Amino acid sequence: MPTTPFLPLPDGLEITSLSETEQELLVRVTSNRVSSLCPVCSTPSFSIHSYYRRKPLELPCTGRIVRLLLSVKKFFCRVVSCPQKIFTERLPELIEPSSRLTTRLRSLVQAICAAFNAKGGARLGEQLGIHFTRETFLRSLHLLSTPPVGNVKAVGIDDFAWKRGKRYGTVIIDLETHRLLDILPDREAESVKQWLSAHPEIEIVSRDRGGTYAEGAAQGAPQAQQIADRWHLCKNLGDAVEVYLVRKKIQIPPSPSSNITTQQVAAVCAPLPQPEPGSCRYASQEKCERKQAFVDQVKSMHEQGYTTYEIADVLHLARNTVRKYLRLEGPVQPTPRTRRLSQLDPFYEYLTERWNAGCANAHQLFVDLQEKGYRGGKQRCAVLSRDCAKGFQGWLVHQNKHNREKRCLCPFRPQGSCVGCSPSGKKSSPWKKKVT
């Protein structure tokens, strides 16, 4: 059986037998070719060195795996000047050297992976009789050769992580077609310079704010104009606005479209009370001092000539953090925080009425709140009931003494969040209280 319409083979190959196992169809194929071209010097050789067998997978048939048992040869290369003394028989129409898939199957796997990605391709492959892992699909896709770059006028250069924090590469994009042009193994100026030097037609190089790509572009494409890409322009603007907001202690109110009341917005946007000198210190202040110490140390080491990498290693900081600290001007300011709204917020007025009416039973409050639409947990009601049972009178005094913003801090807040009053008295389970 030289060949069959179900499994066409190139000239010089013939099917010698068919068999099957529980999982696979086995097709024995023998090569009758008497010569092969040396892969190095391209000289045909008729000197057979030995025979060996390959077991590549072929396209599945009726949903079953098809495996070829391919008997091929090794040849001597008799060209004295050729460094390749022994080589394997080449069958370019059927299979690539060292491949475990035939060319037909490899092409199908690549097409599936390109259409569905590796994970989706692996799932689809299971239905088609191609039982490969997604890693195999991905490796097949990586075997595809990239098309030639051609003439390109504007390129965008940026880095990406092969392994985050460990190894980075460079991606080069055609800004006119948004097509990937090339991927460089590192993000060094020399690599960028060499790539750009091979393309003197480039007129525009879009890059990040780092000096590495600026140096590489200046040396590799001195004729090109360097511009900052849109993402980094927006990031520059965002960083500047953030620094301004932090320094001026401005909080941005939530979107008006969100389902909250005006009073809640006012409570959230109210300025945080400033601690009096000598009184309690905010945790954020201690964080600021720790951060300021880091910033001072980073700047000191930078002035001593340490590189960003060395500073990051010594201080155990991320390199981006080191760069951010070096860009920082003035003292470190705390980041304004917006208080998260509680699910109890809409029910404060109702809770106040209930407490004024004398109800101190947490379970009863919880049941009443559920009827009013409260979807929070029972424990939350227990905490507020316990706190209020101990400090309710104090809270009323506190409510009268303080302004509206401070009122919302007490007593229906987690214990300790209130600046002005702290609950006192014995702890008791709110579940044991009776409705009065």
Q: What is the DSSP string of 60-108?
A: EETTEEEEEEEEEEEEE---TT-S--EEEPPBTTTB-TT-SB-HHHHHH
Cβ at position 84, least distance to Zn ion in Å: 5
The residue written with tokens 């939530």 in the block is 254
Assess 40 for contact with Zn ion (CB under 5 A). yes
Which lies closer to Zn ion via its Cβ, residue 83 or residue 147?
83
Q: Which stretch binds Zn ion (CB under 5 A): 31-39, 272-280, 288-296, 347-355?
A: 31-39
CB 196 within 8 A of CB 202: yes
Q: Which residues of 60-93 are buried (b: 16+ CB within 10 A; e: fewer)?
A: beeeebbbbbbbbbbbbbeeeebeeeebbbbbee
Assess 38 for contact with Zn ion (CB under 5 A). yes
Q: Which stretch binds Zn ion (CB under 5 A): 83-91, 167-175, 213-221, 227-235?
A: 83-91
Cβ at position 143, least distance to Zn ion in Å: 25
Assess 48 for contact with Zn ion (CB under 5 A). no
Which lies closer to Zn ion via its Cβ, residue 25 or residue 77?
77
Which lies closer to Zn ion via its Cβ, residue 80 or residue 357?
80
Cβ at position 112, least distance to Zn ion in Å: 37
Which lies closer to Zn ion via its Cβ, residue 80 or residue 280?
80
Number of residues that bind Zn ion (CB under 5 A): 7
Among 15, 37, 41, 260, binds Zn ion (CB under 5 A): 41
Among 59, 82, 204, 315, binds Zn ion (CB under 5 A): 82
Assess 114 for contact with Zn ion (CB under 5 A). no
Residues 6+ apart with CB under 8 A from 24: 64, 65, 66, 67
Which lies closer to Zn ion via its Cβ, residue 72 or residue 267?
72
Which lies closer to Zn ion via its Cβ, residue 3 or residue 84?
84
Which lies closer to Zn ion via its Cβ, residue 26 or residue 82?
82
Q: In which order are the strands placed within the sheet that holds 204-207?
A: 179-184, 167-174, 154-163, 204-207, 225-228
Q: Which stretch binds Zn ion (CB under 5 A): 40-48, 155-163, 221-229, 314-322?
A: 40-48
Rounded CA-CA distance 186/165 in Å is: 13
The residue written with tokens 């391919």 in the block is 70
Binding mask 269-288 for Zn ion (x = CB under 5 A): --------------------
**Three-class SS of 129-175:** CCCCCHHHHHHHHHCCCCCCCCCCCEEEEEEEEEECCCEEEEEEEEC
Rounded CA-CA distance 221/231 in Å is: 22
- The CA dihedral of 424, 428, 429, 431, to the nearest 10 degrees, is -90
Cβ at position 70, least distance to Zn ion in Å: 23
Which lies closer to Zn ion via its Cβ, residue 46 or residue 160?
46
Which lies closer to Zn ion via its Cβ, residue 77 or residue 389?
77
Q: Which stretch binds Zn ion (CB under 5 A): 79-87, 119-127, 333-341, 411-419?
A: 79-87
Q: Label residue 125 exposed, middle or buried (CB < 10 Å: 0-12, 13-18, 19+).
A: buried
Q: Which stretch binds Zn ion (CB under 5 A): 76-84, 141-149, 161-169, 190-198?
A: 76-84
Rounded CA-CA distance 401/417 in Å is: 18
Q: Which residues of 186-205 are buried (b: 16+ CB within 10 A; e: fewer)?
A: ebbbebbbebbeebeebebb
Cβ at position 41, least distance to Zn ion in Å: 3
Q: Which stretch binds Zn ion (CB under 5 A): 38-46, 136-144, 367-375, 423-431?
A: 38-46
Among 13, 27, 77, 389, binds Zn ion (CB under 5 A): 77
Rounded CA-CA distance 87/240 in Å is: 63
CB 145 within 8 A of CB 157: no
Q: Which stretch binds Zn ion (CB under 5 A): 35-43, 227-235, 382-390, 425-433?
A: 35-43
Among 26, 37, 48, 79, binds Zn ion (CB under 5 A): 79
Phi–psi pair at 326, nearest 5 degrees: -70, -30
The pair of structure tokens assigned to 104 is: 């037909």
The pair of structure tokens assigned to 372 is: 């009013």
Which lies closer to Zn ion via its Cβ, residue 38 or residue 172?
38
- In the complex, which residues of this chain contact Zn ion (CB under 5 A)? 38, 40-41, 77, 79, 82, 84
